[in-house]
Structure 1
Amino acid sequence: MVSYSSEHMIYHPEKLRLIDIISVLIFRRILSSSKFIESHHFNEDKLGNNVALPNLITILTLIIQKILGFLYLPFKLLGHVVEFILNLFSLNGGIFKLLLRIVTGKLVIPNKESAEYRSILGHIDGRLDLYNKTSFSFHAKCIPNQVRGSAADNTTNEIDPLDLSMMSAKVSYENAAYVKNAVTNHWKMHFVGFYDFWNEYQKTSSTQAFIYCDAPTNANLIVVAFRGTEPFNMKDWSTDVDLSWFSMGEMGRVHLGFMKALGLQNDRDYIKGWPKTYTGNKVLAYYTIRDQLNKLLEQHKGARIIVTGHSLGAALATLFPSILILHQEDTILKSIYGVYTFGQPRVGDKDFGVRMKENLNGTFKRYHRVVYRFDVVPRVPFDDRISQFAHFGGCLYFSSWYKGEVMKKEPNQNYFNPLYIIPKYFNAWVDLFRGIFAGVKLGKDFKESLMSILFRMVGLLIPGLASHSPRDTVNSVRLAKITTTANEDEEELVFV
């Protein structure tokens, strides 16, 4: 495969003008000659510039990004207000007790840094404990059967890697105190740290992750969880739909925005962008987590690693091992038990997928990409028929009422496919009614809050948006009947 270390295609939506839209769509101007695109060493025929659909999708994506840019500050403020009000009600026991507390002078003012403060996703799904019901039969030497650190006794329990991963991905949306409380007091595990990393794409410390072990000493399991797309952060959503990419040589082409969130230092040359030794002064996700994992593996001989995330966090969880491969970090790679992602956007091209599958099969076989129904995010950026991006590996696909199926690809590869308009809207209504009566049918653990029902109503306007909620993914993992046979060489998931 012929590749260049400096090959890239970078889109600048802030430079898009009305005249550009007209000239590309009507006069068929070549995209790469436009001022809003920066490209180097790239064969334009691969973009399909002579085909109307790729041009239309590219322009549509840039318009969406431009709109998201305008909405960033208003939605950021809206998010602060909504979350403050939700926490004000919940911390004071609801609207009636809130009024009583105001009268009696006992009003609790929400503190964003406290362990009781929850994000809007935490209000949509407030579950915090790991699931007790064993719907997942798991037997593998590399995951501990005993959860150490129990206050009462060391009761032997099976650890469900999918539930543990999804709960970790969900909790990652919360503040550091909340995360630490979840790990230490609810899961009875050892909290290592919560981190804020510099994100070059957003020009702020907006990449978050946390690390924990199943025990403070002689740990068998280490978990890395990346935070995903925050509902009111329009820059996160802009990152998800961005079509910009750059070449990593033999590794293939990868999503530029996600790589910047991990700590990429040069978006024109991957060799300069990913030096093995970092000498800068910014706290970058890849280098910090890599160094922390090396220290933990030195302390906990033989421990295995799970990397997980939801949405944007799922993209980072998938790309993190690719840099380990690039730097030949064999100690960490050989210790990785699996990568579990939920609602993951596409992160690279077909060549990247081939390269990753070679290494996933060589060093760790367990890459499970979980998708719930018509979730919009796994359908972006658009697939390789339109852009450079393609999913790799299989998919654990869940439909309504959480019926699971192992598939090569989820249905409806691109979100705007007109063939799926009716099924998407129908499913949104089904999900709404199911959410209303879930507690009656499935028990109190699955009873949905008013905030969750309201969010499902948003899905009636934008079908697939509500399907991206961590609640449905947690339900999918907990309600689907899944069995797995596992040993040191392979793992197979089977829905029954």
Structure 2
Amino acid sequence: MRAGTAQICLVVAASLAAAVSGASFSLSDAKQFVYLAGAAYCDASSLKSWTCGRACSGPLPAVPGSITVVQNRTMDLQAFVGKLEDGRAIVSFRGTRPTKIQDWVTDLKSAFKTDWTGPGCPSCRVAKGFYEAYLALAPDIKVALHGLNAGTVVVTGHSLGASMAGIAMMDLYASGFNLAPAHYTFGQPRDGDEVYASTFNS
């Protein structure tokens, strides 16, 4: 995909997300989140020092030394938690890597629905693979967020990471974290059923 096409897709996808959530769309915010979503694909050492090349060169960088990389090697999952220069906390989930079989297994399992077991959405059914992937990282993500003492949390991700981000927004909000009013995800598959969507949008 060419860069220009990717930017158009970004704007359309992010505009739709903002419209559904009731938040106003900001192109500058969307561009910031593109970099932050891309950074989740970097290796752990370059993430921690925020030296991961182009993905770490966005207009709103994370603060080096604030970053915790959360992984589940069995399921080939990665996210990072850190503090942005504007004081907000960021959670960014890595998406599907085409050469990693376990990522495809997670994606395929998401064709099936399972019950939401956390707070905030007792009658919801969500994509099994995406939900299990998020739950595998959630405890360490929450510990890292508590350690940052940041007032507001923003969440992003691409592809598989975007669906995990959507689930994270619901869970973190229900768990008492102060989420920002607008978040941007990219290439996000559907996370759950109509009850989940209605609860999410409320």
Mapped contact 2:96–2:160 kept (Cα < 8 A): yes
Mapped contact 2:75–2:102 kept (Cα < 8 A): no
What is the aligned length?
167
Distance 1:315 1:286, change over 3 A: same
Cα deviation for residue 220 of structure 1 reads 2.2
Give the equivalent residue in structure 1 for 2:102: 235
- Give CA deviations for 1:366-404 in whole Å, capped at 9, x if unaligned: xxxxxxxxxxxxxxxxxxxxxxxxxxxxxxxxxxxxxxx
Give the equivalent residue in structure 2 for 1:169: 37
The answer to whether the aligner puts 1:195 opposite 2:63 as a matched pair is no
Give the equivalent residue in structure 2 for 1:410: none
| Aligned partner of residue 211 in structure 1, secondary structure | strand
- Give CA deviations for 1:38-58 in whole Å, capped at 9, x if unaligned: xxxxxxxxxxxxxxxxxxxxx
- 1:253 pairs, out of 115, 120, 125, with 125
Cα deviation for residue 183 of structure 1 reads 7.0
Which consecutive unaligned segments of at least 5 residues does structure 2 have? Answer: 4-26
The answer to whether the aligner puts 1:207 opposite 2:77 as a matched pair is yes
CA distance in 2, matches of 1:194, 1:292: 9
Cα deviation for residue 210 of structure 1 reads 1.1
For 1:166, give the aligned amino acid.
V
Give the equivalent residue in structure 2 for 1:21: none
For 2:147, give the aligned amino acid.
K
Cα deviation for residue 320 of structure 1 reads 0.9
Cα deviation for residue 235 of structure 1 reads 2.8
For 2:71, give the aligned amino acid.
D
Give the equivalent residue in structure 2 for 1:311: 159
Cα deviation for residue 251 of structure 1 reads 4.0
Give the equivalent residue in structure 2 for 1:181: 50
Distance 1:251 1:164, change over 3 A: farther
- 2:175 pairs, out of 315, 329, 336, with 329
Distance 1:163 1:183, change over 3 A: farther
CA distance in 1, matches of 2:41, 2:62: 19
When Rg is computed on C-alpha atoms for both structures, the one with the higher figure is 1
* Correspondences of 1:53-452 after superposition (within 5 Å): 160-179=28-47, 180-182=49-51, 186=57, 189-191=62-64, 192-197=67-72, 204-215=74-85, 220-242=87-109, 243-248=111-116, 250-263=122-135, 284-297=136-149, 300=150, 303-325=151-173, 328-330=174-176, 332=177, 334-358=178-202
Mapped contact 1:311–1:343 kept (Cα < 8 A): yes
For 1:250, give the aligned amino acid.
P
- Give CA deviations for 1:257-306 in whole Å, capped at 9, x if unaligned: 1111112xxxxxxxxxxxxxxxxxxxx41111112212222xx4xx3221
CA distance in 2, matches of 1:230, 1:285: 17
CA distance in 1, matches of 2:194, 2:201: 10
| Aligned partner of residue 50 in structure 2, secondary structure | helix
Where do 4+ consecutive residues of structure 1 move more than 4 Å? none
Identity %: 27
CA distance in 2, matches of 1:207, 1:241: 15
TM-score (norm 2): 0.71
For 2:98, give the aligned amino acid.
P
For 2:128, give the aligned amino acid.
L
| Aligned partner of residue 258 in structure 1, secondary structure | helix
| Aligned partner of residue 96 in structure 2, secondary structure | coil
CA distance in 2, matches of 1:317, 1:186: 22
Which consecutive unaligned segments of at least 5 residues does structure 1 have? Answer: 1-123, 126-158, 199-203, 264-283, 359-496
Mapped contact 1:183–1:189 kept (Cα < 8 A): no
CA distance in 2, matches of 1:246, 1:237: 18
| Aligned partner of residue 45 in structure 2, secondary structure | helix
**CA RMSD, aligned part only?**
2.8
For 2:72, give the aligned amino acid.
F
| Aligned partner of residue 177 in structure 1, secondary structure | helix
Mapped contact 1:183–1:212 kept (Cα < 8 A): no
Distance 1:290 1:251, change over 3 A: farther
| Aligned partner of residue 183 in structure 2, secondary structure | strand
